[in-house]
Amino acid sequence: MSSLLTGLVWEIPEDVKMTPQAQVVLLCLTDRADTVTGCCYPGKKDIAKRCRMCVRTVFKYLQELEALGLVTTEVQRRKNNSQTSNLYPVHLRQFAPPPGKPLPRPPGKRLPPQNLS
């Protein structure tokens, strides 16, 4: 899980024309991505379940993310040449703040912690 990459999703400027549904799929991918490589390999059924979409809809928004240059789909094959889960490198480093500057928090009001005891 990469909270760094998930945080970068909130830094994508508004001039990048991404639908809210594509953003949900991107958040799902970054939640599963390795922080160092930016890669993840969840199955489309898993993405669909987590995003509460059908598999065909996930495919549509993965194509949108690819067209925007935010994700690449790399088909993975087993030794017997059958397909397994795709590899999805996520390309968000261009939205990272300069070194030493922290990521801003996602939009929304923060509530103070509550004592649950």
Instruction: Count CB atoms within 10 A of the CB of residue 92.
Output: 22
**Domains with residue ranges and CATH for the chain:** 3-95 (1.10.10.10)
The per-residue pLDDT for 7 is 87
Q: How far apart are CA 72 and CA 68, in angstroms?
A: 10
Q: From first to last of its 117 residues, what are the pLDDT tens digits of the chain?
A: 568 888 889 889 999 999 999 999 999 999 999 988 999 999 999 999 999 999 999 999 999 999 999 999 999 989 999 988 899 999 998 887 777 776 655 555 555 665 555
Q: Can you give the pTM of this predicted structure? A: 0.81
The per-residue pLDDT for 89 is 94
- What's the Cα-to-Cα distance from 16 to each of 11, 70, 81, 88, 116, rounded to whole Å? 11, 10, 37, 20, 41
